[in-house]
Structure 1
C-alpha cells in the first residue's frame, strides 16, 4: 500500500524575511494572498495536519484547510534563541552558532539539535508509511529538511544545504520500506498537475 505525504512550507512572514528564528508571528498580507490563490490546487488528502506554529496554522487556513495540529511536526526548538536573528545570536555567541551549524548533534541554545528533529520527523514519517492514502501537512521548513535527509539517507549535515522556499510542496511516497521524493513543487496549476 502506497502512502503519499505532501509537505507544504508556510507562507512568508516578517520573521521569515528577517531570517529570525520563529517568534510566533503571523504570515504577512502578501503570503496570505498567495496562499489563498493556491488553495484550489492542493491534492485531495485523507488526513490534513499542520505544525503547531502560528504561521503554519494561518497558512493552512489561508489554503482553505482544516488542519489538525501535530506536535511531532513542530519546528526546530531553538531554546533561548527563539525570536532572535541568526546575526544577533552570532554577534553574542559566535562559538555556539559555529558549533551548532557544524555539529548536527549540538544544541547550545538549550533546545533541540538537528539530530533530534531529524529523529522525531523520521519516527512520524515511518509511522504513517503503511497507512495508505495521502497526508497533506503544512509544516516548518526545517521539518521538510528533516524529512528529506531521512528519506534520502544522507548525513544530517546536509540539513543546512537544503533551501525550502515559502509555499512550495515536497511529496514523499512510500511502501515496502522505500521512499521516493518529489521536491519544490509550486502551489499552482502546474505543480498540482505534476503531483497527481
Structure 2
C-alpha cells in the first residue's frame, strides 16, 4: 500500500514574526494575502485536514480548502512557554531552555518533549500508511513543528535532527510510501501559478 502525505505549513502571523513559542494567533494581512495568492498551487487531493490552531485553519480557508480539523495535528504543546517570546524565555529560564534544546526527552515547560511530539505525529503518519489504511493522498495544513516531526519520524532520523530542519511558511513537504518506509520531498514553496 502506498500513500502520499502532503503537509502545507501555515502562512505568516504575528507570533511567528515575533519568535513566540507556538503563539496561536490569526494570520496577519500579509500571510492571508499570500495564502490566497497560493491557492492555485495547492496540489489536488482527497479530503483535506487542518491542525486545530487558528493559523492552520485560516491558512486552509485562504487556500480554498474545505479542511476538517484534526486534533492529532495540533502544534507542539510547549506548556507554560506557549505564547511567550523566545528572548523572554532565554532570559528567564536559560538552564531549562538549554536542557530542552539538548535533550529530546526534556520538557521543562511542562508540555510535550520532542520525543513525545515525534511519537504522536509518527503514530498518525504510520496510521495513514499502515495495514488497513486506504491508498491515496492526504493533504493537511499543519504547524512547522508537526511537519518537522513527520520528517524525523518518516526518515527514521535521530530526534536531534528536528532542530536542523527548516520549514518556511506556505511550503509543501511530501512524504510518500508506507509505514516504516517513507520518502520525502521537502519545502516546495506554494506560489501562485504564472498567468498567461
Whole-angstrom CA distance in 2 between matches of 1:16 and 1:23: 7
Unaligned runs of 5+ in 1: 191-196
Cα deviation per residue 1:59-88 (whole Å; 9 max; x = unaligned)? Answer: 000001111111111110000011101110
Aligned to 2:37: 37
Structure 1 position 56 matched with structure 2 position 67: no
Q: Secondary structure at the match of 1:115?
A: helix
Matched, 1:165 2:168: yes
Structure 2 distance, partners of 1:144, 1:32, is 20
Q: Secondary structure at the match of 1:163?
A: coil
Q: Please, which runs of 5 or more residues in structure 2 have no aligned partner?
A: none
Tell me how far apart the structure 1 counterparts of residues 139 and 56 of structure 2 sit (CA, whole Å): 12
Distance in structure 1 (CA, Å) of the matches to 2:136 and 2:147? 20
TM-score by length of 1: 0.93
> Alpha carbon RMSD of aligned pairs, Å?
1.2
**1:151, distance to aligned residue in structure 2 (A):** 1.3
Q: Are the counterparts in 1 of residues 9 and 141 from structure 2 also a CA contact under 8 Å?
A: yes
Question: Does 1:86 pair with 2:86?
Answer: yes
Runs of 4+ in 1 over 4 A off after TM superposition: none
SS, match of residue 148 in structure 1:
helix
C-alpha distance in 1 between matches for 2:91 and 2:192: 43
**1:189 positional shift:** 5.9
Paired with 1:56 and 1:183, the residues of 2 have a C-alpha distance of: 19
When normalised by structure 2's length, the TM-score is 0.93
Quote how far apart the aligned CAs of 1:186 are: 1.1
Residues in 2 aligned to 1:74 and 1:188: alpha-carbon distance in whole angstroms: 25
